[in-house]
Amino acid sequence: MARDTTDDTPIETKSQLVDWLAVGCKPKSDWRIGTEHEKFAFYRDSHKPVPYGGDNGIRAILEGMQKKLGWEPIIDDGNLIGLFEENGQGAISLEPGGQFELSGAPVETLHQTCSESNRHLDMVKAVADELGIGFLGLGGSPIWTFEETPRMPKSRYEIMTNYMPKVGSQGHDMMYRTCTIQVNLDFDSERDMVRKLQTSLKLQGMVSALFANSPFTEGKPNGLLSWRSDIWRDTDNQRGGYHAFMLDKDFSFESYVDWALDVPMYFVIRDGRYHDCTHITFRQFMDGALKGEVSNPEPTVGDWSNHMTTVFPDVRLKRFLEMRGADGGPWRKICALPAFWVGLLYSSPSLDAAEELISDWTPEMVFDLREAVPKEGLRAKIAGRELLGFAKEILEISRQGLVERARLNGEGFDESVHLAPLQETVASGMTPAEILLQKYNGEWNKSLDPLFTEYAF
């Protein structure tokens, strides 16, 4: 999320909120792929995390990137906290602990996504190298304690940091010590949205296993394959994680709105200032709960748009669908995550086949899988089978969908080439985390120092 919005159009009825989502429907010819990826910054000489300020800090990276890109600055209370391309061709933002995020431009092909990611990483690396800074592609902070982790000067994060301990035990770890890769995908109708959301919601546990890449905490194995996925089990279960109602037969734009209306807010922006609103829901806001507390106490479209960025289900609905199940990873995984989902969801035969394969997965089964994956990875079971077997079948369905799209790169290869890292994972049966643990217990001699060279961008 690069920047919050300030659309002052007043909201008077719930139907406006439903319509706000429905505007996202677009014909297949206009479907795009938007990829986001986060990375941990560290000093190459000491392996310490990078603070915001100073001559060699996060701000200095942003300033260097601004000079290279010419993008517009995002300022929060006088602090540079991100960059954006004014025609919507991408943005750079900071997560709470200084995780560096690229929100990519909406592009037509996975080849373009991969090229964009490579360009971004090359530019960031060129700036960061001069500052002695490197980046790690992992799902969880491997050696730093919460107290050692920097804090970014972003107003919404201050509100979130104060609120998190009230609603779960792991919210601070989610904010400050995790990284992800996400993809945003389109739909052409409400029915298409429902099919894609429900299929992808059932499969988020599989993706969490395929991308499991956070087996270390504070310098040693944490007993998990995806610490990040485990963190989401108790971050804020009212607004985040798995919500079974999304698998209901009558799920719709309106039912998602009804749910989001009853999730406590984080903030509203008035006169350029963030006001803590964690004591009310958006429905209460619409009923006048902020009268006497802020100027212009009536809700606006900008308020709703911002609120929709503060709910964190495993699949998030905005004017597109956001896939949120994967740990952060190396550059090949940045291309593989959107490839997995595009192959399944942007091909009608593949979507049909995926739906059929997992049609008997009940909401309870999906929940149980989500609970098991952080520790068991691809060995977790659902519907009487190991997840690994299903993953092989789903990957083949995705591959067929990408072949069907027939989008070729300059060398004549279709988009299925980007599935290679996942095909290697299912062929070996080992998650990325298990490979890391194998190295840790073997050639690394129980040291994580090699991680900062072998797994650095």
How high is the pLDDT of residue 402?
Answer: 99
Instruction: For residues 261-281, give the mean pLDDT.
Output: 97
- The answer to whether residue 169 scores a pLDDT higher than 90 is yes
Q: pLDDT per residue over 375-421, tens digit each?
A: 999 999 999 999 999 999 999 999 999 999 999 999 999 999 999 99
Instruction: For residues 107-112, give the mean pLDDT.
Output: 98
Phi and psi at residue 313, to the nearest 5°: -65, 165
> What confidence tier does 88 reach under pLDDT thresholds 50, 70, 90?
confident
Token representation of residue 455: 């797994």
The DSSP element (H or E) to which 435 belongs, if any, is: helix 432-441
How high is the pLDDT of residue 354?
Answer: 99
For residue 393, the one-letter residue type is: E
Nearest-angstrom CA–CA distance, 183 and 116:
14
The answer as to whether 130 is a domain residue is: yes
How high is the pLDDT of residue 436?
Answer: 99
CATH code, 110 = 3.30.590.20
Cα–Cα distances in Å, from 175 out to 142, 151, 159, 163, 265? 15, 10, 12, 12, 17
Of 302, 267, 298, 273, the C-alpha closest to 7 is 302
Q: What is the pTM of this model?
A: 0.97
How high is the pLDDT of residue 5?
Answer: 74
Nearest-angstrom CA–CA distance, 364 and 426:
25
Which residues, including other chains, have CB under 8 Å from residue 29's CB and lie 6 or more apart?
Answer: none
Domain containing residue 383: 25-249+315-454
The DSSP element (H or E) to which 79 belongs, if any, is: strand 79-84
Nearest-angstrom CA–CA distance, 235 and 16:
30
The answer as to whether 298 is a domain residue is: no
The DSSP element (H or E) to which 159 belongs, if any, is: helix 155-163
- The answer to whether residue 122 scores a pLDDT higher than 80 is yes
The answer as to whether 134 is a domain residue is: yes
Q: pLDDT per residue over 12-48, tens digit each?
A: 999 999 999 999 999 999 999 999 999 999 999 999 9
Phi and psi at residue 381, to the nearest 5°: -115, 150
Percentage of the chain beyond pLDDT 90 is: 97
Contact criterion met (CB below 8 Å) for 415 and 111: yes
Of 330, 144, 135, the C-alpha closest to 220 is 144
Instruction: For residues 273-277, give the mean pLDDT.
Output: 97
The answer as to whether 116 is a domain residue is: yes
On average, the pLDDT of the chain sits at 97
Contact criterion met (CB below 8 Å) for 134 and 456: yes
Of 97, 79, 87, 95, the C-alpha closest to 36 is 95
How high is the pLDDT of residue 367?
Answer: 99
Token representation of residue 337: 């995550």
Q: How many CB atoms lie within 10 A of CB 99?
A: 27
Quote the strand ranges of 186-336, DSSP E. 216-217, 220-221, 240-241, 267-270, 273-276, 312-313, 315-317, 321-327
The answer as to whether 131 is a domain residue is: yes
Find where tokens 């969880």 sit. Answer: 140
For residue 114, the one-letter residue type is: C
How high is the pLDDT of residue 1?
Answer: 53
The answer as to whether 103 is a domain residue is: yes
How high is the pLDDT of residue 288?
Answer: 98
Contact criterion met (CB below 8 Å) for 253 and 325: no
Instruction: For residues 127-151, give the mean pLDDT.
Output: 98
How many domains in the chain? 1
Token representation of residue 389: 């077997």
Q: pLDDT per residue over 290-344, tens digit each?
A: 999 999 999 999 999 999 999 999 999 999 999 999 999 999 999 999 999 999 9
> What confidence tier does 2 reach under pLDDT thresholds 50, 70, 90?
low
The answer as to whether 150 is a domain residue is: yes
β-bridge mates for residue 75, sequence order: 80
> What confidence tier does 6 reach under pLDDT thresholds 50, 70, 90?
confident
According to DSSP, residue 327 is labeled E
The answer as to whether 297 is a domain residue is: no
For residue 85, the one-letter residue type is: E
